[in-house]
Each structure stands twice: as structure tokens, then as C-alpha cells.
Amino acid sequence: MKTLDPLDGIAAFLTVSTHLSFTKAAEELSMARATVGAQVRQLEDRLGIRLFQRSTRKVALTEAGAAYRQALSGILPQIREAERAAISFQKEAVGRLRVSAPPDLGHLVIVPAVSEFLKLNPAVSVELDLSHRPVNLVEDGFDLAIRGRLEVDINLITRQLATSSIVISASPAYIAEHGVPMTPHDLVHHACLHFAELRWGRIWPFSRDGEEFRIPIVPRLELNHSLGLRDAAVLGLGIVLLPDFVVGEDLRQGRLVRLLPDWDISTIQLQAVYPANRHIAVKVRRFVSFLAGKLRP
């Protein structure tokens, strides 16, 4: 059974009833006169009653048509206001922005960026989910996700925000007690602090001069929270492998010391991912651009 749209023909009916002219209604609606007439006839057929008396020179409302117009009084302004409300999301940064991000990047980068973004965009509110769990943007209702690495669906848009190096480091106290590893192979003799969410498992990858080395480690401490691992490293518990956005300030302040600087380790591509759509909301586009500007340095 075909489902009928209850709004079909109503705009045409109300416009004709205002002007009592199909020609003027067609001009106002930017339609062909025949189209306006067809929409009104279809509406009459659906209702099973004549709404207009028509002659070659005059159009007049029937009694039923006048009652119908009275009952519909105010509906077009409401529809136009609803359209303006919807269109405003494409013209201004408004509404709630739901963002998923990993906890470490969230605490260190995203939360400060969100605070500044909200001051610049007072009509926006943000719901921030900080977790490592994979999210389905559409099914879970997120506007975008920020991740270090994503398997991206073809229906998603990916924008690279920044690249973060991964560095290996330890505290001065740990180095003073246990010494400095001279090669990645020396790590087997040290206490290693391991991030449990690493996609390649309990392997620390290194390369130099085109040669790659994959060093299996037995963690002294394993956590799924990089900020906790950083704290353990600062306290002297062992050697840690973490992104520079997590340990960068500790390295600059001397709380941690970079190890094996002549060896290359993997990098993390920080990405913003959001559903592909011709009509991306202004709040999403503006936040992604703002975040890219914050992360790029």
C-alpha cells in the first residue's frame, strides 16, 4: 500500500486559497500552473471532497475548502520556521557535537582544545567520549572520532590532523640505577613498561639504515592507559615506549630522558573521521579545522 504524505499539495492549496488564482499561486511557488493544479486535484482526491469551485474566470473556496483552510491556519509559517531551524545547522556552528577520542590524546590535547573552541562558538555544546573502544559513528550517534589509526569505511571521510613520533624514554633515576641500553637488543635486560593497546602486541619495533628489528618484550608493567605508564616511568619503574604528545613535556622538563635516539620507531597518524555527506554540519567542519590548527605544531 502506498503511504501518502499528509503535506502533499497543502502548500499549493494554501497559496491558491490566498490568491484565489492558480496562476498567481504558481508564480509564488515557482511552479508551472499545471503542476499547482495537479497537486490540488490530488489533494482533493485524497480527501474525497472538492476544495475549490473553478470557472474560466473565477476560483472560489467551497465550504469544505474554507473549513480546511481555517484548520490549516498557521501551518506554513511553522513549516518555514522548521526549515530555517534545520538550515541554520549548515550556516552556523550550532547544536551538540559528539566526539570520540582516546583518553591520552583527550586529556592532553582534546579537552584544552574543546575548552577554547566552546569559547569561540557559544552556540555549540560538546559531548566527549574518551575511550579506546571502537565506535560506529552512525549507529552510535557520533559526529566524529579522533584516533591514532583507523580502518576507515568507504562511507567515512578521513582528515589527517598531525603525525606524532613514538619515543622510548626513562627517568634519570632509572638510568642511574640500571644504565642506558645501547641497542634495542639490550632491552631484554631492562624493566619495560608496555602500553596494552599497541596494535602490534608485545613487540617494540625499531629500524636503522633500512634494517628493521622487532624486539619482543616481557612487560614489568602493562597498562591500557598511557598517562599511567608515563607516571610510572617518571617514578623510575622502567623504560617506556609512548607517543611524544604524551611524554614530550616530561622530556623537555628533564623528568624523562630519551633513549636510543639513533634508532627510528613507528609514528602515529592522528586522524579525524566523520560520516561522508554532502551536507557536513558547520560545527563538525569548524571543529576539525580548529583541531588541525592546534595539533599541527
pLDDT in tens, 70-83: 888 777 667 666 66
Question: Could you read off the pLDDT of 168-200 as tens digits, one per residue?
Answer: 999 999 999 999 999 999 999 999 999 988 777
Which residue in 125, 155, 114 sits closest to 274, CA to CA? 155
CA dist 55 and 241 (Å) reads 86
- What's the DSSP call for residue 210? T
Band of residue 275 on the pLDDT scale cut at 50, 70, 90: confident
Q: Is 164-268 a domain of CATH 3.40.190.290?
A: yes
Per-residue confidence (pLDDT) for residue 130, from 0 to 100: 92
Distances (CA, A) of 269 to 91, 100, 139, 184: 31, 16, 25, 23
> Which residues have C-beta within 8 Å of that of residue 164, sequence separation ≥ 6?
148, 243, 244, 245, 267, 268, 270
CA distance 223 to 288: 30
For residue 115, pLDDT over 90 is answered with yes
| Fold equal for 89-162+269-295 and 164-268 | yes
Taking only the tens place, the pLDDT of each residue in 35-83 is 999 999 998 898 888 899 887 778 888 888 888 888 887 776 676 666 6
Q: Rounded to whole angstroms, what are the CA distances from 8 to 15, 29, 32, 66, 283?
A: 13, 14, 16, 18, 32
Tell me the pTM.
Answer: 0.64
User: Tell me, what DSSP letter sits at residue 165?
Assistant: E
Distance CA 139, CA 162 (A): 27
Q: Domain 10-73 is of which CATH architecture?
A: Orthogonal Bundle (1.10)
| Residue 177 backbone phi and psi in degrees, to 5 | -85, -35
User: Which residue is it, cell 530555517?
Assistant: 84
Q: Which amino acid is at 115?
A: S
Task: Label residue 141 by pLDDT band (50, 70, 90).
Answer: confident
Domain boundaries of the chain, sorted by first residue? 10-73, 89-162+269-295, 164-268
CATH number for the segment(s) 89-162+269-295: 3.40.190.10
Q: How much is the pLDDT for 79?
A: 67
